[in-house]
Amino acid sequence: MKRYAFLMTLLTLPLLFGCASRNHKSEMGIPTPTKRIHALNHRLHLTMKQMDAIKPILDEEFHKKTEIMARIDKAEDQEKRLAKEELADLEWDTYKRLCNQLTLEQSHLLSELLLEEDQKINGPVSNSPSRSNKGQGRRPRMP
């Protein structure tokens, strides 16, 4: 269930960055790497070296995400579930790779940004036993 909520959060990210213009989206509604770099730069104040390092990461993620989203659109229930898990794993891997290019402060800001957006979409995280992860951390969403 949490992966589904995570996926839904990921799919609403274009709204986060004001992607109302079709010029900044692919056909599937996924923000382009260029748009995402601009959004990250605005929030994290990236250096040119960081932007150059992040671009290939976002390009690779964009192409993989586009393929996965196309499979999700055509898949049956079980296949959709597996593709959504693959998408969540891709997002988590991209987040970790991005953090390797960021300073500690920028990584913290990125995590805060993702947590804030997750809470806006899914509501605040409860500590009640029924919603507890039992020690399993939630994956942050990607901008």
Q: pLDDT value at position 136?
A: 45
Q: Which long-range contacts (CB under 8 A, 24 or more apart) does 36-44 make?
A: 36/142, 36/143, 39/143, 40/98, 40/110, 40/143, 43/109, 43/110, 43/113, 43/143, 44/102, 44/106, 44/109, 44/110
Residue at token pair 């399993």: 136
Q: pLDDT higher for 133 or 1? A: 1
Residue-wise pLDDT for 37-63, tens only, equals: 998 999 999 999 999 999 999 999 999
For residue 113, name the pLDDT band (cuts at 50, 70, 90): confident
Rounded to two decimals, the pTM is: 0.66
Mean pLDDT, the chain, integer: 77
For residue 97, name the pLDDT band (cuts at 50, 70, 90): very high
Q: Reply yes or no on whether the pLDDT at 5 is more than 60.
A: no
